[in-house]
Amino acid sequence: MQSTEFAYDPGRYGLPTRQELIEHRIWDTHYHGLMGGGGMAQHRAMMFYVERMGIERVISLDIGRGVRSESGGPGRPPAPSQPERERADQEELELLQRERDRVSGIIRINPTYPEESCAMMDKWIRHGPCIGIKYGASGAVKCSHPNNDPIIGLARELKAMIYIHTFMVVGGTPRVPGGGSRGAESHPADVAILARRFPDVPMICGHSGGDWELGARAIRACENVYFEFSGSDPHSSEVDYAVNELGADRIVWGGHGPSRSFATELSKAFDADLSRADRMKVLGGNYRRLAAPMFRQKGQPIAI
């Protein structure tokens, strides 16, 4: 079956048709098609679903394999050798050039190593095709640590997008939201601390902090912080709640494939009682507004 063929009409099931999805101009700002061992073959397979679900652009979060601690370690694939890294880097550069009309990339930095992180930003953003950075959960320090200041300062200079993985896993003794998070896993409260130090720098609080009810409250007062929902189960009315607390202009959408389905992630936005204009902001408009200066710098102006 072709990616654009459907056995039945989705429009008859209270869903947007593929054409309507296309018209929403959806940008998947959390694309893991290059993550793990799948590489380019996985990316090519993922494009079937990107096409099928009418996604206009994906932002890969896995360009460059991160700084040194991002690879290897318990439970992770072994760190690549230098020739392997160089070969993979070249493939990704070629991908970002070849598919620049639908694929963009950001790189993983690690505030445990601020100098190396900034060097990566120079290589991949200042002198390369990437448009921003991602904070993961690896390393030894959270995004609120002073180590982050040179990284955010450079991001401001470059007009780079900033995505911060956050998740408050319940746990610990006594059990509290966030008490079960990994050592360097930031919480929305960490994002708020960072955002207050850089009030003129927009940044995205990823995964809605896991617990969106508490996450939105933590960043509510920081108007330079945006809120993204991918990578967790779909909860009815979570986007309604966030729009009510933060405004539709501060919500960003991500798909988190291939580990999450577009069905899961799109349902969060289409469950919400939004005007078409606001839904378009959530599904791509807000990110485009933030990223427009960077795209202009790259010689690729975009319509917001």
Partner 1 sequence: MKSIDRRSFLKGSLLTAAAAAFPASLAVAAAPAAPQPAPSPSAEPEIIDTNVNLFHWPYRRLKYDDTRALVAKLRRHRIAQAWAGSFEALLHKNVSGVNARLAEECRANGGGMLLPFGTVNPAWPDWEEDLRRCQDVHRMPGIRLYPGYQHCGFENPEFARLLQMAGDRGMIVQIAGEMEEPRVHHPNLALRDMDLTALAAALKAAPHTKVHLVHFAPLIFISGGQVSQKARETIRNETGAFFDISRLEGNGILGRVLGVDEPLGPAAVGRLPLERILFASHAPYFPVEASVMRLFESPLSQPQMLAVMQGNARRLLASARRA
Using CB under 8 A as the binding rule, whether residue 132 contacts partner 1 is answered as no
Q: What ranges make up the beta strands (E) of 127-268?
A: 132-135, 161-165, 203-206, 225-228, 251-252
Interacting stretch for partner 1, rule CB under 8 A, among 80-88, 134-142, 167-175, 277-285? 167-175
Using CB under 8 A as the binding rule, whether residue 15 contacts partner 1 is answered as yes
Residue count, binding to partner 1 (CB under 8 A): 54
- Is residue 113 a contact partner of residue 151, using CB atoms and an 8 Å limit? no
Using CB under 8 A as the binding rule, whether residue 137 contacts partner 1 is answered as no
Give per-residue burial for 273-304: e unless 16+ CB within 10 Å, then b.
ebeeebbbbbbbbbbbebbeebbeebeeeeee
Interacting stretch for partner 1, rule CB under 8 A, among 102-110, 129-137, 258-266, 295-303? 258-266
How far is C-alpha 215 from the geometric centre of its chain's CA atoms?
16
Interacting stretch for partner 1, rule CB under 8 A, among 61-69, 103-111, 145-153, 164-172? 164-172
Q: What residues between 22 and 61 interact with partner 1 by CB under 8 A?
A: 42, 44-46, 48-49, 52-53
Q: Tokens representing 64?
A: 């460059």
Q: For residue 40, which of 96, 86, 106 has the smallest C-alpha distance?
A: 96
Residues composing the chain: 304
Binder of partner 1 out of 240, 245, 249, 289 (CB under 8 A):
240
| Closer CB to partner 1, 128 or 215, in the complex | 215
Interacting stretch for partner 1, rule CB under 8 A, among 57-65, 262-270, 282-290, 296-304? 262-270
Query: What does the DSSP 8-state code read for residue 199?
Result: T
Binder of partner 1 out of 101, 175, 200, 275 (CB under 8 A):
175
Binder of partner 1 out of 39, 150, 153, 180 (CB under 8 A):
180
Range list of H helices, 159-261? 188-197, 212-219, 238-246
- Residue 57 β-bridge partners: 27
How far apart CA 276 and CA 274 sit, in angstroms, is 6
Residues engaged in binding partner 1 (CB under 8 A): 1-3, 5-10, 12-15, 42, 44-46, 48-49, 52-53, 167-170, 174-177, 179-180, 210-211, 213, 232-237, 240, 257-264, 266-268, 270-271
